[in-house]
Chain A
Amino acid sequence: MTNHQDRAPGMDVDLLQGSTSPWRGLLLAQESWVALSILVLGLIVSFIAPTFASAGNLLNVFQNACFIGIMALGMTPVIISGGIDISVGSILGMCAVTLGIVLNADMPLAVGIIATLAMGIACGVFNGAIISYLQLPPFIVTLATLSIGRSLALVLTNNEVFYEFGQATASIIALGGGYTFGFPNVVYALIIGVIILHILLTMTRWGRYLYAIGGNESAARLAGIPVDFIKISAYAFSGLMVAITAIFLVGWLGAVTNSIGTGYELQVIASTVIGGASLNGGFGSALGAAIGAILVEVIRNALLIAGVNPFWQGTFVGCFILAAVLLERIRSLRR
């Protein structure tokens, strides 16, 4: 940086008034790259198979992306803090099973929702507490809870499928599968989630401390930040978002199987990383996670509609993950 630039008129003013978040400029770049990929991919596929661009299909893509997207919103604070939560698929299973059991016992929907949210938060707090207080690596801890959660879902359901939701049957299906103003309800959940998480990350101490912990955990401790509490809350937030996903997903599917959510963790982490979150911690955004989820779903859907053998899906998603990580590396070199 030369003196000449430093003294450029208006520069200081611009920096001082320039809104809020420092990482914004950087992440906007990643987000716009992903948005561009979605656009280019969409245009190419529309030429090959015009049905892709039909309103019905696009809505379908968006709705599918929302389930992964909401979970990716939950994953974002965890990854920003330098952690990872690979148990989200199993937590989804636990939450869905909880909802199934409560509603199957003819409880009102509100009770089912509260129980589900509580289960999600409890699973997250469990992960976070072990990671923070026992100082164990997040990958291993959540690998263990991935296994435990899926197994408990089997134990609790005794391999039964729930599709009777008692008095709440109509309302849960209306909530998860219904539309408001022409869009599926879950779409609104994602949009509200993006706005809330964006505010939390850029305008609150909680968000600031997550970035600080991800950037330099010992510095955060020296600055007097309650590192353990913030980490636990990040995992709890992830659990909460998984629980919200579970409620919409169960309503949409109309049934709870104990395998619900199996393998979701990879798509969720892929979405978050493609959206610009760094697995080293310290970077990530709400909008990025949501856009990343849309890209992953567009790839899957586009391949399907273009008549490509679905076995190729993983290869394409994997290539985009590599591209996203490379992009991040290039950006960090230029920093």
Chain B
Amino acid sequence: MTVLARLEHIVKDFGAVRALDDVTLDINHGEVLGLMGDNGAGKSTLVKTIAGNFQPTSGSYSLDGQPVHFSGPAEARRHGIEVVYQDLAICDNLTAAANVFLGREMMKRVGPFKVLDHKGMNRRANEIFKELKSETRPAALVNRMSGGQRQAVAIARTRLSESKIVLMDEPTAAISVRQVAEVLALIRRMKDQGLSVILISHRMPDVFEVCDRVVVMRRGRKVADKPIAQSSPEEVTGLITGAIQSA
């Protein structure tokens, strides 16, 4: 596996609070990385640093060997880093295709005017849903959809551009057991297509089912970083709570 993104000695301070303390982390091509930790452990700060929402106080960040300094999430997105937000950032009153293309609508020319290309967007969204093997219909309203289908819509947005890393913040937090399986299948499909996925989750079974590697954060420090096969839910729980110092 080759390294896609590398964070070295990242420190992030908010005033007197050190949210990230000397975090070094590699993200490899085509791997699913589970990021775990208690509330306030620094998971969100780390993810937001990767996604360009935060600039690190010190430390270096490189993509494909090139150092990067993102001024905001839009710039990170241009470099192929996409975030699927916890609240999904979806408009319930729009169709699946409209949500997928929100802010990046396909237009077609009619005489002197440019108008929305509804057909084109539905067709492209349908292709993406097929790639994801999701039974989501592009022209259906999102508010009638299951949690799994909504996740598919949110994930489909990341497939519009040539994304490399998809950060998923608690995608399985508020959905039913059956839909969790659907979302985990989506994550596997992204991996199959060569994407790197960072899965932030509190749900131990999800992480152990789908991730290749697990990273545990506690009080702003990385306390564990190992292949999932060499760890166990018991060990990770101990690492999260501090019963085990590091592994």
Chain A interfacial positions (CB closer than 8 Å to B): 6, 12, 15-23, 199, 202-205, 208, 211-212, 214-216, 218-220, 222-225, 282-283, 335
Contacts and interface: CB of A to CB of B under 8 A. Distances in A.
A225 B94 contact: no
B115 A15 contact: no
Given A16-B122, A219-B91, A225 B102 contact: yes
B90 interface: yes
A214 B93 contact: yes
A215 B139 CA distance: 17
Top 3 A-B pairs, shortest CB-CB distance:
A215-B91, A223-B103, A282-B93
A29 B22 CA distance: 59
Given A19-B118, A22-B98, A335-B144, A215 B93 contact: yes
B91 A205 contact: no
A222 B140 contact: no
25 contacts: A6-B135, A15-B122, A15-B138, A15-B140, A16-B119, A16-B139, A17-B119, A22-B139, A22-B140, A208-B98, A208-B102, A208-B105, A212-B91, A212-B94, A216-B89, A216-B91, A218-B87, A218-B89, A219-B88, A219-B90, A222-B89, A223-B103, A282-B93, A335-B141, A335-B143
Contacts of B95: 22
A234 to B, nearest CB: 16
A220 B141 CA distance: 16
Given A23-B93, A23-B141, 13 more contacts: A16-B122, A16-B139, A22-B95, A205-B107, A208-B94, A211-B94, A211-B98, A215-B91, A218-B89, A219-B88, A222-B89, A283-B93, A335-B143
Interface of B: 74, 85, 87-95, 98, 102-105, 107, 115-116, 118-119, 122-123, 126, 135, 137-141, 143-144
B118 A20 contact: yes
B93 A219 contact: no
Contacts of B143: 335
B115 A203 contact: yes
Given A16-B122, A17-B119, A216 B90 contact: yes
Contacts of A12: 126, 137
B94 A22 contact: yes
A167 B239 CA distance: 86
Contacts of A23: 93, 141
A212 B89 CA distance: 11
Nearest to B73: A222
A16 B91 contact: no
A215 B137 contact: no
A137 to B, nearest CB: 21
Contacts of B107: 205
A279 to B, nearest CB: 13
Contact of A204 (B74, B116, B122, B123): B116
A204 B98 CA distance: 12
Contacts of B144: 335
B141 A22 contact: yes
B225 to A, nearest CB: 30
Contact of B92 (A16, A17, A224, A282): A282
B123 A203 contact: no
Contact of B74 (A21, A215, A216, A224): A224
Contact of B137 (A15, A212, A222, A225): A15
A216 to B, nearest CB: 5
A21 B97 CA distance: 11
Contacts of B91: 211-212, 215-216, 219-220, 282
B196 to A, nearest CB: 21
Contacts of A219: 88-91, 102
A34 B138 CA distance: 30
Contact of A212 (B88, B102, B115, B138): B102
A40 B127 CA distance: 47
A215 B91 CA distance: 5
A216 B94 CA distance: 10
Contact of A224 (B88, B93, B103, B118): B103
Contacts of B102: 208, 212, 219-220, 223, 225
Nearest to A218: B89
A202 B102 CA distance: 14
A224 B105 CA distance: 12
Nearest to B89: A219
A285 B74 CA distance: 32
A253 B189 CA distance: 67
Contacts of B87: 218
A215 B92 contact: yes
Contacts of A212: 91, 94, 98, 102
